[in-house]
Amino acid sequence: MFNEQYVLKVNRISRRFGKIKALDDVSFSVNAQSIFGLLGPNGAGKTTLFSIVANFIHPDSGSIEILGHDVKEVSKIKGRLTILPQDALFQQNVPILEQLIFFRLLDGRTRAEAEKEVKRTLEMVGLGEYANRRVHSLSHGMIKRLGIAQAFLGNPEVILLDEATSGLDPKNAKQIRDLISELQTRSTIIVSSHNLAEIQGLCDHVAILDKGKLVACGSVNEITRAARKFDIGLSRPLAPEETGKLSSLPGVKSIVAAGAERYSISFDFSEMEDNGNSDDKAIASLIRAILDFGITPREFREGATLEEHFLQLTGKEQG
């Protein structure tokens, strides 16, 4: 197992396609055993960056290091890096069991070892009972899970997943997210997704690309700290003077009615003293003030703040 802190280092990567600059001096690092999210609107450069990391295409300038090796030496990390492209292709008339066994035979497994591993992996992604099916008979969601099964084969230390849950129903999407979370104990997963709420719940660090440039990178908490939002349900509506008092509390940016007894409360902690507890203290002060009004909070949950921050940075909806 690679023991350095960073398993992936992207250093000043740039890439043009004709007059279009797909990536413009992009640099960031990915910690070992993290789940790292790559976000950006269409045309931001996500797929181009994935393709360079996988050594499918080469950058015009810059370098990428994976597990201590330049990506140009990708043969030296054979079996330690796996990839799920957004539209993975398979042979239409060959049983999926045989296709995945073939991939493992190419990696040096015996037939018995390969079959055991493939059957276990197909069970993991919910395709065990379809092992002898041919690809042409599978639904879009099942083909997506087949691609994920291929990426999970072996014991990869770095897994690249491009739109891993796209096209899956909520139950299967949750199953894949749970699998990704379980894999974090032995692998580093880098995942792109159009589902910002999914990324916020799944990833510990993210990078946001826009027009080929890196516009934000860091932990989800760091990126969203300056614009956290909570939805709260109360036992009765707030009176105007009560709303005014809550709005004057440290860290409270705005309070907007979202229903008769529901409110959307935005916090801005960026100018507060960073003592490790200031965020929690500000939220606790808000709850205490609500209780002092004789109001009972019935629900308190954090909203999709990563999405709000994404829109603020890019000015676009995720697409």
Q: Which residues pair with 247 in a beta bridge?
A: none
Q: What is the pLDDT of residue 319?
A: 47
3-state secondary structure of 298: strand
- For the chain, give the number of residues: 319
Task: Give residue-wise pLDDT tens across range 213-226.
Answer: 999 898 887 777 65
Q: What is the pLDDT of residue 227?
A: 61
| C-alpha–C-alpha distance, residues 16 and 54, integer Å | 17
CB within 8 A of 163, min separation 6: which ones?
Answer: 86, 192, 193, 194
Rounded to 10 degrees, the C-alpha dihedral 70/75/81/83 comes to: 100
| C-alpha–C-alpha distance, residues 118 and 100, integer Å | 6
Q: What is the pLDDT of residue 294?
A: 94
Q: What is the pLDDT of residue 145?
A: 84
**pLDDT < 50 stretches in the chain:** 1-3, 275, 318-319
Task: Give residue-wise pLDDT tens across range 8-20.
Answer: 999 999 999 999 9
- Give me Rg for the CA atoms of the chain: 23
Residue that has been written with the tokens 């640099």 in this structure: 27
